[in-house]
Each structure stands twice: as structure tokens, then as C-alpha cells.
Amino acid sequence: MAASGAFAEAGADLELVGIHKRFPGFTAIESLDLRIPAGSFFALLGPSGCGKTTTLRLVAGLEQPTSGRILIGGEDVTDVKPYQRPVNTVFQSYALFPHMTVIENVAFGLRRRRIPDPIAKAHEALQLVELDHLAQRRPAQLSGGQQQRVALARAVVNRPALLLLDEPLGALDLKLRRQMQIELKDIQSEVGLTFLHVTHDQEEAMTMADTVAVMNRGAIEQLGTPEELYDLPRTAFVANFLGQSNLFTGQVVSSAGEAIVVDAAGTRIAVPAKRAQRHSGAVTVGVRPEKLVLHTEAPAPATGRNLLGPGRVTDVSFTGVSTQYLVAIPGLREVVVFAQNMVFGPVVGEGAEVWVSWDAEHGFGLADEAVGEGEQGRFVDDATTGSIARQTRDELLDELGES
Amino acid sequence: MAFAAFGGAAARAAAEPAPLKKGAVAIGLLAPGVAYLLLFFLTPLIALVFTSFEQPASSGAIGAYVPGFRWQNYGEALATYWPHFARSFGYALIATVAALLIGYPVAYFIGVTARRWPLLQSLALVLVIAPFFISFLLRTLAWQQILGTNGWIVAALHGLGWLGPNEGIVGTDFSVVFGLTYNFLPFVILPLYTSLERLDIRCLEAGSDLYASPATRFLRITLPLSAPGVVSGTLLTFIPAAGDYINADQQYLGSPNTAMVGNVIQGTFLNSQQYPLASAISVALMVIVLVIVAIYIRFAGTEDLV
């Protein structure tokens, strides 16, 4: 645990127990319990203002929790000063030292811990991010992407038991981003560090992390592998934040047997009971757009398939690999369909009459409470006074920090 | 003197090629300032140098001198008054260091700690500037009263036995250095404040994330980043303090034993009317200050600081 002398031998696990964090005027984190096993690549995913950066700062020791404990490698570090924690952070703002050269920036942590041969190790870290040729420059002479890589090198060079990444790849172009993602994965598998990665980019979270926690309004909505989260979202927030979903709300009319059946505006939709969080009352069920199949003629009803329609195609957008269709079905919300471009060009044009079907096994039932009759009330409203105030405050704080 | 000290950077900036049209506008805008400096800064300076080489008139009357090249004036100036030079630079150095030690925490408080409370920040800045609303002489006289024999501070120190029955504060080295420190404190605080106000707190957070203790953060991050403020604040204090003649004056906080170069110049010029000697002392003071400042700036390496 001692923050001096040598590199961490391996990653440490991180445990957050009953964390609350209140700032004057709002609550950033409400009752957060989280356990990140040693050596894992963990992503906290959420929209801005959801409390993910605050969580990171709590782990780094830059904020104190209002209540709750933080344990790293089984040791309680809640009251340990940030400079004594075996943790390093890649800051979203990079926070490079403007008065030092790049190499001195990278060697800073090594020097503080009196690690032998800091300059050579710093050069190695810079080679990793392909910036060794700029070692003698000042941060102000680098581009945003280069600064970000220096920030990454400055944290990674310390080989901390726990590496915190606050949107670390945001300023990189796609190619470099991929490269850095691979580098990070390499470093992780090589040294076995524990990575805690905070991002609002669902793709980054899904491709890099072993475990993703989707965070919303200061609490974790759902936690699991990227596949689990995508395949079986438990809340409307997760279903919509991680990819797209078609959601339908209605009363459960039958819950006998293997499937529950929901009556959504007269259409019956079946969902496997084991994939549904709630089995009675008003529930929301959903299915991913790529699971849907378009039909130009009414297909024969089949057991184990849900069928919607007829509806009308209102929008067709070609995206290369697939084509995205919007289908308006009377009584329901517009349905999104992703169809692989197996043939040349779109299958149907705008205004065509279509039916939509999917294998009932692909459906999922959400845990959200039914709020009202309409579907609108069911989804997380980001435009409440409280959340607007919170976001404005965050933006102001960011501005203050930058000026 | 201060102008000359900062002239290097300005001259370099001016030497950069500029488009011709803009050049004409720049010359037009610069002309009044240049003319003013030529007339009221350079002309007296040249006159001063000429006077410093004058020799006594053959009539032998007091205050009568003729142009000449009597370089011995400089030898006499330094030989006779080197203790005053030494005292001046000693006082100025101690006062500068004291003002820096007192001013840094104040500037840090206003520029960093008080960021969250803009009202407090403005109020504190006003308080730093407030003394300027009262004449420098009056404030120094006020300190003479406060520190004087009839003041409560001396009475208290007598009561405690820390000062002997015939000892006072006014007229000592301490009172002069105290006066210099007090009078130049705002000149340290304001440039430091401007430097510290821009200090990025996130750099300090990064420092603490990288195993730097609070003391190390201050030495490695805060202090280097505020170095421009330290350099300009200390220069703005040291240069005028070395030439100051009010605080060390017998009518204010000084005594004959605390006379600085400024007092000597005043005395030789106005009282004994030895104009060449007074001029030689002035020029010598200026040259020594310039040399000290040049060495200091080179040592502090402000060029590297962005």
C-alpha cells in the first residue's frame, strides 16, 4: 500500500461501500456500492452530470465522501491523502505541468516516489505513446491529442495498482484512439493493473471494458459485461443509453408458462418470463432494432414470433453496413429497424406498407415503474429543473476550472 | 531604471518584422510616448551624467561648477559613501525578502483560496490598494507616531523590559526596514496576485495524484508557476527601496545612523550643493542596481516561463 519505493506488483481491487456525496445544493452520488475485482477493466458509463467523474475523484482522494468507505486492495483509504494512495489518474483536462518539459512531467511521479532511474523509465513510457521525440517540448507546444497521450504516459509510468481514466481518449482521432485502446489493454494484461475508466462514450466502454456499470443520477442502474448489458437491459435508461431500443408499454395479460404477454395498444407482445424483470401490471418491454425483420407482406402468425403491423416506413437512412428504417405503426411509437444490407440498396422505400416481426426470445422486460398511461412518462426525463440546474452548475464549474 | 531593466524583451519584440502599413500606425501610436520619454527621461539622464563629471569653478564659490571630465567624482562618491550604498542594498534586500514572505500568503489567499468567493476577493484587493488613497508621506508619518517614544508599542516594550529606558524603535535599522517593507508590500502582492490568480488548481490536483505532498506541490508547482509574479514583485520593491530616502529620513523613521544613498544624494545636492558628487552617486546607484537586476533576471530565468 505504501506509495513509495517500488511499482505495484499487481492490480488491487477497489471497493466502494455506501458512498454518498453531497455538494452544497445537490447530491452527486447517492448510496453507491461497487466492487471492482483486481485486474479488471471497469468502465463507468453515463451521461454528463451522472456522478461518474465525482466517483473517480472520490477514489483518487480529490473529494471526500459525505459518508461511506473506500477500500483499495482491502485497505480502507477513505481518510488517506491523495498523494499517499496507490492510484494514478489521467485527467480529462490533462492537467500537465506547463512549466516542465514533457519528460519532466512524465518523470514527476517517479521522482516523488524516489524510483531509481526516473528519466529512462519516463522515456519508455513516452515511447509507448509514441511521443519520445517530443520529450524536451513544453506541454503548450503540443496538440490536444499529444497532451492527452503525455497525460496517459505520466499516469501509466507509475504502474499504480489502480489506474483511473477520466475520458482519456476523447481528444484522439479514431486511428490513434484504437491504438491507445489496444495499448491500454496491453498494459493492463501485461501488468495486471486495475483500470477504472469513466466515459460517456458507450462504444469506448463496450469495446474496452470487461465490466460496464451504467450510471444515472448518482446511482448505478445496471452492471455487467457489455454483452449482458446490451442483450438484457434492465431499465429504460440502460436500454436507450447503450445502443437503441424499441420499447412498448402495456398491461400484462398473461404470465402463464415460459412467456409473459403484454397488450400494447391492442397488439400482443410476448417476452420470455426469465428475461422480464416484472411479471404483472403495467410493464415496458423492448427489443433491439437489429433483431427486427421487415416484411412487405403480412407473414403468417407463428408461435414464438411477435408481429407488428401493418405500418408505414417514414424514414430510410443508409449507413453502409446496414439500413435504418423508421416504421410508424398505429397506436405505437415509431419502431426502429436495422437491416443488414444483404442486397443492393434498401429493401423498401419510404411510404411502403410493412410488417415487423421478431423472435420473442430476443425481447426483454424492464424493471421501471409504470408512471402513467402514456409511454412518455416512462422514460427518464432529463429536462427536470433539478437536472438542468445540476448540468448548468457542472458547466459553470468546468468553465471556472478552465479560465 | 525599471524601464531599462525590462527593455530587453521589448526591444526584441519591436525588432520582429511587421507589415509596413501596420508599422506606420505603430509609429504614430508610439510617437507621443517616445517623445515624452526622450524629453523627460533621457534628457535629464544625460544631463545627470554630464553633471557627474563637472569640476569646481575657478571662483571657488559654493555650488559653482564648470563642465569637465573629473572622473574622480566617482571615486570620491564610492570611497566616501560606500557604507551608505551597502546599507541601502542591505535594507532593500531585507525589506524585499520580508515583503515577499508577508505578501505571498496574502496574494495566495486572494488569488487562490478566495476564488470561490468573488466578493471577498474584490474586497481583499481593495484593502491591498486602499493605502494608496493616503499619501505615502502621511502613512510613514503615522508609523512614526505609532512606533515613536510616546506610542503605546514602545511603552509596552518598556513595561515588559524588552527595551531599555532610553531605547526606542524609530531611528533604528528595524524601523527603516519596517517602513520600507510596509510601503512596498502592495507592489509585491499585486503582481503575485496576478500570477497566482491564473494558477490552475487542476495542476495541483495532478501533483497530489502523482505522490507530491503539500510542501512538494508548493515548491515544484505553485512556486514555479508564480515565478513571474515573484520576479516582478521583488523588482518593484527592491529597485525603488534601494533608492528610497523617505523612510530612512530623520524626520520619518530614520536617524543619522540609518542614512541611505537617497539621503546622501538629497544632502549633497540640496544642502552642500555638491552637484557633481550628488550626480556621481546617483549614476553609480543606477548602474549598481542595473547590474544587480540583470544578474537577478538571468538567474531567475523568467524567459522560460510562459
| Lowest-pLDDT range of A35-44, A247-256, A393-402, B107-116 | A393-402
Task: Say how far apart CA A236 and CA A219 lie, in whole Å.
Answer: 15
Angle at A244 between CA A238 and CA A249, to 5 degrees: 75
- Position B12 in a domain: no
Strands A87-90, A162-166: pairing kind: parallel
Does some domain include residue A393? no
Q: Closest Cα to residue B225, out of B191, B187, B198?
A: B198
How far away is chain B from the Cα of A83, in angstroms, using its nearest Cα?
A: 4
Whether A97 and A195 share a structural domain: yes
pLDDT score at B262 = 94
Do residues A104 and A209 share a domain? yes
Would B260 be classed as within a structural domain? Answer: yes
Which of B202, B211, B221 lies closest to A91 in CB terms?
B202
Q: Are residues A219 and A261 in the same domain?
A: no
Choose the final residue of a domain: A228, A248, A281. Answer: A228
Distance from CA of B100 to the nearest CA of A (A): 21
- Cβ atoms of residues A316 and A383 within 8 Å: no
For residues A250 and A264, the answer to whether their CB atoms sit within 8 Å is yes
Does A290 lie in the same domain as A341?
Answer: yes
Per residue in A284-306, pLDDT (tens digit) is 999 999 999 888 888 888 888 89
* Least confident interval from A101-110, A148-157, A163-172, A217-226: A163-172
The answer to whether A293 and A357 are in contact (CB under 8 A) is yes
Whether A160 has a pLDDT exceeding 70, the answer reads yes
Q: Give the whole-angstrom CA distance, residue B126 versus residue A167.
A: 41
Beta-carbon separation of A97 and B212 below 8 A = no
| CB-neighbour burial class of residue B46 (10 A; exposed 0-12, middle 13-18, buried 19+) | exposed
Q: What angle separates helix B136-147 from helix B152-160, to the nearest 10 degrees?
A: 30
Nearest to B209 among A4, A60, A96 (CB): A60
B303 contact A CB<8A: no
What is the pLDDT confidence band of residue A117, given thresholds at 50, 70 and 90?
very high
Please state, in angstroms and rounded to a whole number, the distance separating the CA atoms of residues A314 and A241: 23
pLDDT per residue over A58-102, tens digit each? Answer: 999 999 999 999 999 889 999 999 999 999 999 988 999 999 999
In this prediction, residue A390 carries a pLDDT of: 61
B209, B304, B305 member nearest A88 (Cβ): B209
Apex CA B126: angle with CA B121 and CA B132, to 5°?
A: 150
Q: Could you tell me if A28 and A108 lie in one domain?
A: yes
**What are the grid coordinates assigned to B260, written together?**
541611505
B213 touching A (Cβ < 8 Å): yes
The whole-number pLDDT of residue A394 equals: 67
Range of the domain at B231: 73-304
User: Model confidence at A346, in pLDDT bands (50, 70, 90)?
Assistant: low
Task: Taking the CA atoms of A169, A171, A175 and A179 in sequence, report the sign of the dihedral they define.
Answer: negative
SS (H, E, C) chain B: CHHHHHHHHHHHHHHCCCCHHHHHHHHHHHHHHHHHHHHHHHHHHHHHHHHHCCEECCCCCCCCEECCCCCHHHHHHHHHHHHHHHHHHHHHHHHHHHHHHHHHHHHHHHHCHHHHCHHHHHHHHHHHHHHHHCCHHHHHHHHHHHHCCCCHHHHHHHHHCCCCCCCCCCCCHHHHHHHHHHHHHHHHHHHHHHHHHCCCHHHHHHHHHCCCCHHHHHHHHHHHHCHHHHHHHHHHHHHHHHCCCCCCCCCCCCCHHHCCHHHHHHHHHHHCCCHHHHHHHHHHHHHHHHHHHHHHHHHHCHHHCC
Rounded to whole angstroms, how far apart are CA atoms A18 and A26? 18
What are the E-state strand segments in A142-255?
162-166, 194-199, 211-216, 219-224, 246-254
Give the range of the structural domain holding residue A280, as residue numbers without chain letter.
Answer: 232-378
End-to-end CA distance of chain A: 36
Residue A370 maps to a domain:
yes
Q: Could you tell me the pLDDT band of residue A201, with boundaries at 50, 70 and 90?
A: confident
Nearest CA in chain A to B201: A401
Does the pLDDT value for residue A109 go beyond 90?
yes
Interface check for B225 against chain A (CB to CB < 8 A): the answer is yes
B278 falls within a domain:
yes
CATH number at residue A219: 3.40.50.300
Asked whether the predicted pLDDT for residue A136 surpasses 90, the reply is yes
**pLDDT, greater one: A23 or A393:** A23
Residues contacting residue B83 through CB under 8 Å, at least 6 positions apart: none
Same domain, A192 and A267: no
Is residue A4 included in any domain, yes or no?
no
Q: Which residue of B has its CA nearest to A159?
A: B210
CA distance to partner chain A, nearest, from residue B197 (Å): 10
pLDDT at res. A378: 37
Q: Are residues A366 and A220 in the same domain?
A: no
Nearest chain B alpha carbon to A107 = B210
* CA neighbor of A123 nearest in space, from A137, A133, A115, A112: A133
- pLDDT truncated to tens, each residue of chain B (306 aa)? 333 444 344 444 444 555 566 788 889 999 999 999 999 999 999 999 999 999 998 888 888 899 989 999 999 999 999 999 999 999 999 999 999 999 999 999 999 999 999 999 999 999 999 999 999 999 999 999 999 988 899 989 988 988 888 888 999 999 999 999 999 999 999 999 999 999 999 999 999 999 999 999 999 999 999 999 999 999 999 999 999 999 999 999 999 999 999 999 999 999 989 999 999 999 999 999 999 999 998 888 655 443
Do the Cβ atoms of A122 and A106 come closer than 8 Å?
yes
Instruction: Look at residue B50 and tell me if it is in a domain.
Output: no
Domain count within chain B: 1
pLDDT in tens, B192-217: 999 999 999 999 999 999 999 999 99
Q: Which pLDDT belongs to residue A243?
A: 86
Is A96 close to B206, i.e. CB distance below 8 A?
yes
Contacts of B153 (CB under 8 A, 6+ apart): B146, B147, B169
Q: How many residues does chain B have?
A: 306
In this structure, are A38 and A172 located in the same domain? Answer: yes
The distance of B177 to chain A (nearest Cα, Å) reads 34
A3–B211: do the CB atoms touch at under 8 Å?
yes
Does the residue A102 lie in any domain? yes
Q: Is residue A291 part of a domain?
A: yes
Is A385 among the domain residues? no
Q: Are residues A256 and A315 in the same domain?
A: yes
Q: What is the pTM of this model?
A: 0.80
**Given pLDDT bands bounded at 50, 70 and 90, which one contains residue A9?**
low
A237 and A222 fall within a common domain = no
Tell me the CATH number at B147: 1.10.3720.10
Residues A212 and A289 in one domain: no
Residues A184 and A254 reside in one and the same domain: no
% of chain A residues with pLDDT over 90: 39
Q: How many domains does chain A have?
A: 2
